[in-house]
């Protein structure tokens, strides 16, 4: 059966190393990562603040020493879905009424969502002055194995804000390719012979390329930013100002070099300048002319180092303000409101940000005889395409009464409270950022410990069962090298630029592309992901065709 071929590959992968081989591989990786800026700023756990008071040190991003094997058919399926997913989320973000119907009971109990919604309503009342929206998306999947079924893709989440690691993911693929092909693909120094590499001693190697597929994440994501920048058109200021893109970043960002890979490419290949703006400085360094001065509301960025040369912002690219914890100053919400009402194209807008809620993901799984939202949002796609999307949905359930998922409500609560069925599920809050999920048998006592009217904040999702025997070795940011059983999560990048027309819920799509991937790999005994948190590592993949 199909998934058995996969299991065999995982069993003898990665190839074992002699001490000399491991020494060479680790040293080569340690040098390569710095030479190519596959790096992060070290956490204070690695370098205490008193040792690194002025933040000039860098360390390796956590990386796997080998690319992880991945079924080619699943990779290609994930890629083939991306542009339809892009369109789906553009459509969702364009249907304010539908979104409101879904979100309203969450808004009642979740301050974060409520504040976002309030900003939307306020800007709507004033009148939006920008009808373009940009999505830079990443759809995340895991491999799922089940008895008597081929290995399949299951979507973990669809990211509509701050989809990160495109920059570093490209470099990991490049590094693994270097390791598999230097000085020649037939005799790479870093990797011993294996059927997945071109140095295979088998007559019929599994993989004929022998290295990861090229990763186009940076050029894809940057092309999306450039398309939005161009679509913005000329300056709306009087006199006209030079234009720029703003990268909105966290004040204490450690994942700087992932972001710089995009801004540098944007400047070198598209000649578009971009500036980094920490969230704490939004109100200090950006402004919008008063209504009387300029009703077009251009967003003006005044570089603190050069106040005499202001810029007009075409696109605000959010690499921050996705999590409730980031709105921790008296002016955080005012700053978000300020950006939303400006003429800059937001990546994402408030409505697109909200569209990435897990609640939306759960609602989309409903199908006839319940509401068929997929069909409604993608009327021009054949049913087979929609079924292809649906095939990646893990069963998931609301824990509330909802007009859109009435029939599943009792089932979700029943599954969550029964210890036997709960053992095959995860409870997910709306909240972003990892660390908040409740797993398996901890679900019933957890739900019983909180008021029942809070339950609707959670989604119950069936656990995904990845191949059990995958292994890899990781270089951590603290320099330690650890090996063990791993689970991988595949992300596919895509971008979408669309225009909304007043009175219509159908977006006019101007740019819709797929390109680039992220593989994040974590130790199997860890339930949570999040590369930045140090639990998981950046990886690339080596494809195999199943027997």
- Residues making up the annotated binding site are 138, 157, 159, 161-164, 253-255, 259, 319-322, 358, 428-437, 439, 461-464, 489, 520, 522, 528, 531-532
**Least gap, CB of 401 to a copy of itself (angstroms):** 50
Report the residue number, 109 or 481, with the smaller CB distance to a copy of itself: 481
In eight-state DSSP terms, residue 489 is E
Asked if residue 250 lies in contact with residue 297, where contact means CB atoms within 8 angstroms, the answer is no
**Least gap, CB of 210 to a copy of itself (angstroms):** 16
Report the residue number, 309 or 526, with the smaller CB distance to a copy of itself: 309
Strand partners, 137: 494
In eight-state DSSP terms, residue 325 is G
Tell me the three state secondary structure of residue 512. Answer: strand
Note the residues at the interface with a copy of itself (CB under 8 A): 18, 20-21, 23-25, 30-31, 33-37, 39, 42, 46-48, 51-60, 182-184, 187, 189-190, 242, 244, 256-257, 260-261, 264, 267, 273, 275, 303-307, 309, 475, 477-480
**Least gap, CB of 196 to a copy of itself (angstroms):** 17
Report the residue number, 167 or 412, with the smaller CB distance to a copy of itself: 167
E runs forming strands in 119-170: 132-146, 149-159
**Cα–Cα distance between 55 and 34 in angstroms, integer?**
16
Distance spanning both ends of the chain, measured CA to CA: 8
Return the number of other C-beta atoms located less than 10 Å from residue 331's C-beta.
15
Asked if residue 280 lies in contact with residue 253, where contact means CB atoms within 8 angstroms, the answer is no
Asked if residue 245 lies in contact with residue 318, where contact means CB atoms within 8 angstroms, the answer is no
Report the residue number, 168 or 347, with the smaller CB distance to a copy of itself: 168
**Cα–Cα distance between 33 and 312 in angstroms, integer?**
36
**Least gap, CB of 57 to a copy of itself (angstroms):** 5
Report the residue number, 178 or 338, with the smaller CB distance to a copy of itself: 178
Binding residues for Mg(2+): 157, 159, 432
Binding residues for substrate: 138, 161-164, 253-255, 259, 319-322, 520, 531-532
Angle at 207 between CA 204 and CA 213, to 5 degrees: 160
CA-CA distances (angstroms) from residue 189 to 173, 176, 193, 369, 490? Answer: 17, 12, 10, 58, 28
**Least gap, CB of 523 to a copy of itself (angstroms):** 19
Which residue is associated with the tokens 């400047």? Answer: 267
**Least gap, CB of 194 to a copy of itself (angstroms):** 14
Report the residue number, 82 or 274, with the smaller CB distance to a copy of itself: 274
**Least gap, CB of 195 to a copy of itself (angstroms):** 18
Report the residue number, 27 or 424, with the smaller CB distance to a copy of itself: 27
């Amino acid at each position: 059966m199909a998934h058995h071929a996969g299991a065999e590959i995982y069993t003898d992968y990665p190839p074992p190393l002699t001490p000399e081989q491991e020494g060479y591989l680790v040293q080569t990786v340690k040098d390569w990562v710095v030479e190519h800026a596959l790096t992060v700023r070290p956490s204070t756990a690695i370098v205490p603040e008193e040792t690194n008071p002025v933040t000039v040190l860098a360390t390796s991003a956590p990386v796997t020493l080998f690319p992880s094997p991945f079924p080619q058919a699943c990779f290609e399926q994930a890629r083939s879905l991306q542009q339809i997913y892009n369109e789906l989320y553009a459509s969702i973000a364009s249907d304010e009424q539908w979104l409101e119907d879904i979100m309203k009971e969450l808004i009642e109990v979740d301050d974060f969502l409520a504040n976002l919604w309030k900003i939307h309503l306020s800007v709507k009342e004033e009148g939006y002055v920008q009808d373009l929206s940009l999505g830079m998306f990443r759809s995340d999947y895991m491999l799922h194995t089940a008895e008597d079924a081929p290995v399949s893709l299951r979507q973990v989440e669809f990211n509509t804000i701050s989809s990160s690691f495109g920059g570093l993911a490209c470099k990991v693929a490049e590094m693994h390719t270097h390791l598999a092909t230097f000085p020649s693909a037939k005799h790479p120094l870093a990797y011993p012979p294996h059927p997945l590499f071109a140095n295979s001693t088998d007559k019929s190697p599994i993989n004929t390329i022998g290295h990861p597929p090229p990763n186009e994440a940076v050029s894809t994501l940057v092309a999306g930013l450039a398309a939005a920048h161009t679509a913005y058109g000329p300056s709306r200021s009087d006199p006209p100002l030079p234009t720029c893109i703003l990268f909105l970043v966290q004040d204490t960002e450690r994942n700087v070099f992932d972001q710089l890979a995009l801004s540098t490419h944007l400047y070198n290949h598209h000649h578009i300048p971009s500036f980094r703006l920490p969230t704490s400085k939004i109100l200090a360094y950006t402004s919008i002319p008063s209504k009387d001065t300029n009703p077009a509301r251009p967003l003006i960025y005044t570089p603190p180092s050069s106040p005499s040369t202001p810029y007009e912002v075409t696109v605000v690219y959010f690499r921050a303000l996705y999590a409730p914890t980031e709105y921790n100053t008296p002016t955080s919400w005012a700053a978000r409101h300020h950006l939303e009402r400006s003429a800059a194209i937001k990546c994402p807008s408030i409505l697109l940000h909200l569209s990435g809620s897990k609640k939306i993901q759960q609602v989309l799984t409903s199908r006839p005889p319940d509401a068929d939202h997929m069909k409604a949002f993608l009327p021009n796609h054949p049913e087979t395409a929609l079924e292809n999307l649906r095939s990646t949905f893990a069963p998931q359930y609301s824990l509330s009464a909802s007009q859109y998922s009435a029939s599943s409500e009792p089932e979700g609560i029943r599954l969550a409270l029964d210890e036997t069925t709960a053992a095959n599920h995860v409870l997910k809050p709306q909240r972003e950022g990892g660390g908040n999920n409740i797993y398996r048998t901890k679900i019933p006592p957890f739900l019983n410990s909180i008021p029942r009217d809070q339950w609707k904040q959670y989604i119950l999702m069936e656990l995904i069962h990845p191949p059990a025997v995958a292994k890899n070795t990781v270089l951590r940011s603290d320099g330690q090298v650890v090996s063990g059983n791993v689970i991988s999560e595949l992300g596919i990048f895509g971008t979408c630029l669309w225009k909304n027309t007043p009175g219509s819920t159908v977006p006019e799509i101007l740019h819709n592309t797929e390109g680039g991937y992220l593989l994040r790999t974590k130790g199997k005994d860890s339930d949570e992901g999040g590369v930045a948190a140090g639990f998981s590592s950046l990886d690339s993949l080596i494809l195999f065709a199943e027997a």
